[in-house]
Amino acid sequence: MSSSTSKNNGYIFEQQNDVRLEDLSSKINAIKNITIDIHQDVTDQDRLLDESHNQFSGLGSNLTSSFGRMNRMISKRHQRQLCFYVSLLVFVFFLIYYGSPLVKSLFSSNDEIPDDTITKPNIEDM
């Protein structure tokens, strides 16, 4: 009887091992899918970082060249030109600041009749 019991126990253990093996296999597949998703996400983020790096590199070179042009403009020999540009900028600022209310008042429709010109009907005339 011990031989049949040990066979039954062996069969039960083998079934338990098969169930655990299937469970382990499903968990491994889930981890594999998660790993594939993580890899895809990392690849996308790496591509995005490369594109951002390229754009910021271009921005840096543009800023460098702009600062170089600005430094050349500020140099001693271009002081008159700089003074002209600053004067022009200040003039345009004041023109816009003080001119916009004037333009608005010119183009606004004032169809209202002043109070002193309104005539009240005379009750005696009726």
Quick: pLDDT tens for 40-80. Answer: 999 999 999 999 998 888 888 888 888 888 777 777 667 77
Q: Mean pLDDT, the chain, as a whole number?
A: 82
| Predicted confidence band of residue 83 (pLDDT cuts 50, 70, 90) | confident
Q: Is the pLDDT of residue 120 over 80?
A: no
pTM over 0.95: no
The residue with greater pLDDT, 76 or 30, is 30
In our burial notation (b when 16+ CB lie closer than 10 A, e otherwise), range 79-92 reads eeeeeeeeeeeeee
Percent over 90 (pLDDT), the chain: 39
Please tell me the distance from the alpha carbon of residue 122 to that of residue 107, in angstroms, as a whole number: 37
Amino acid identity for residue 97 in this structure: Y
Q: Where are the domains of the chain?
A: 1-74, 77-107
Q: Are 53 and 45 in contact (CB under 8 A)?
A: no
Helix%, strand%, coil% for the chain, nearest 5: 85, 0, 15
Locate 71 and state its tokens: 């430094």
User: Does 122 score more than 80 pLDDT?
Assistant: no
Structure tokens at 72: 């050349």
pLDDT of 118 reads 55
Task: Tell me the residue type at 61.
Answer: S
Q: Report the pLDDT value the prediction gives residue 126, as an integer from 0 to 100.
A: 53
The helix (run of H) or strand (run of E) holding residue 78 is none
